[in-house]
Every structure is written in C-alpha cells, then in structure tokens.
Amino acid sequence: HMGATQPVTPPPPPLQSRTGKALKWAVSALLIAALGLGSWQLAETLMQHSKSDDTQKTKTTDGNGKGTDQTKPVKPIAIKGAQEYVAKGDAQAPGDVGKTYDGDSSTYWRSKSFVDGPEMKPAFKPGVGIVYDLGSQQTVTGASIGLRYPGDHTTITLYGTDSMSSSTSVDSMTRIGTITTSGTSAKITVSKKAKTQYVLLWITAMPYASGDQYSGAGYKQAITDVKFTG
C-alpha cells in the first residue's frame, strides 16, 4: 500500500550556478585589478605630466629671463669722434680730446688750473668738457670715465645733445646722468635713457692738485679714458 509520502530532498544547486558565482568573483577581481592598475597608470601619467609642466615652466621662466638679458645686452658703444665743448672763455686742450678714447690710460686731456674750486664759478667758467660723437643714434645706458687727479671732488654730468657744436647751450640739452667722486674713476648709470648721437661729458667741479712740469697747481682734472655702453 501506499506509505507516507517521503520528503523530497531538494536537488543540490546546479554546478552551473556555482561556476557562475566563481566567474562573477573572478570578473570582479579582474575589474578591481584593472581599475587599480588603471588608477596607478593614470596617477603615474598625471605625475609625469605635472613634472613635464613644471619643467616646461622652469624652462619658460629661464628662457624668458635669458631672453630679457639677450634683448638688452650691455655692449660697448664705439666713439667715432670728439670735440671740446667751450661754453665760455678759452678752450682747455682741444688737441688732446682724442687721447680720452685711444685705449691708452697714460694719455689724457687736461683742463687748465683754476684758482677757485672745487665748484667752478658759472660767472667765470660754468664748466669744461668734451662732446663725443657715437656715429649714429644710440641708446646710452652708462659710461665709465678714468680720471687723473683724486681728491675732493669731481662732478661729471652727461648730456644728450644734437651736435658737437658749442653753440648749443647746456640748459637746452637732455641730462642723462651725473656723478660726484673723490677717486680716479667714475661710473655713471644713466638715470634717463636717451637715444642720442652726441654726448657731452661736462665737468663742473674739480679737486685741488699740485703742479708739475706741464701744469700749475690749482683746481683741475684730466680725463684718461671714456667708454660708453648701450
């Protein structure tokens, strides 16, 4: 006869289901690994890009710095000629002006000896100096001047002018730099850059110096070397 119904034992989960789960885990693991690898590669790429940018910025900055220096190099300006400037009274030593830019420091142009000083007296002699011809319009940025006599004191002013003629008054010229020194050299950095072909080197104060066989004692100065830079 029919007995009690036997409970039906549920079949075990299909193998395919277990395999599916295993595949899902494997795929998940691969995805995580891929994401991790991708993130690492992305991070590395970003770091390399950042370094590249920094390097590029550094190069650009350096380049700009060098470019600025290259666009404004300090270069000597050749002197093509010179002539003594006489505002009032007699000339000093017009035949010796060429000795101030002959490259020989032992040669010089010298003023006469004055009784009063160190400041020159405008009513008698407002100053002494030389106009230099630079050959063409030049932007003068500085000048170095060699002097023969040290002491208190020498005052030199540079002016841009339109010719070598003494008929042009100092007051109408463009003042581009000045210096007062007690030494035997003077370096003038131009305060107002001016483009000019002619530059007047104007001395308005000279120290006291003793006499020698060529020059009497008094307030005087001599210029041994003049160099302009642009």
Tokens of 197: 């072909």
**pLDDT tens track for 27-64:** 566 665 556 555 556 546 545 655 555 444 434 334 44
Share of the chain above pLDDT 90, in %: 63
21 pLDDT band, cuts 50/70/90, is low
The pTM of the full predicted model, rounded to 2 decimals, is 0.69
37: three-class secondary structure by DSSP: helix
Residues 6 or more apart whose CB falls under 8 angstroms from that of 3 comprise none
Q: Which residues of 135-155 are buried (b: 16+ CB within 10 A; e: fewer)?
A: eeebebbbbebbbbbebeebb
Q: How far apart are CA 195 and CA 202, in angstroms?
A: 18
2: three-class secondary structure by DSSP: coil
Residues 6 or more apart whose CB falls under 8 angstroms from that of 83 comprise 94, 97, 130, 131, 133, 164
**pLDDT tens track for 115-138:** 999 999 988 899 999 999 999 999
**pLDDT tens track for 148-192:** 999 999 999 999 999 999 999 999 999 999 999 999 999 999 877
Contact 168, 225 (CB under 8 A): no
**How confident is the model at residue 67, as a pLDDT?**
43
Contact 207, 153 (CB under 8 A): yes
Helix (H) or strand (E) holding 177: strand 174-181
Query: Comparing C-alpha atoms, which of 189, 137, 191, 126 is closest to residue 161?
Result: 137
Q: How far apart are CA 117 and CA 157, in angstroms?
A: 17
Locate the domains of the chain by residue range. Answer: 17-72, 76-229
- Count of H-run helices and E-run strands, the chain: 1, 10
In this structure, whether the domain defined by 76-229 belongs to CATH 2.60.120.260 is answered with yes
Q: Residue 129's beta-bridge partner residues?
A: 85, 202
Q: CA torsion sign, 20 to 23 to 27 to 29?
A: positive
**How confident is the model at residue 31, as a pLDDT?**
60
Contact 125, 111 (CB under 8 A): no
Tokens of 37: 């690898």
Tokens of 21: 């789960």
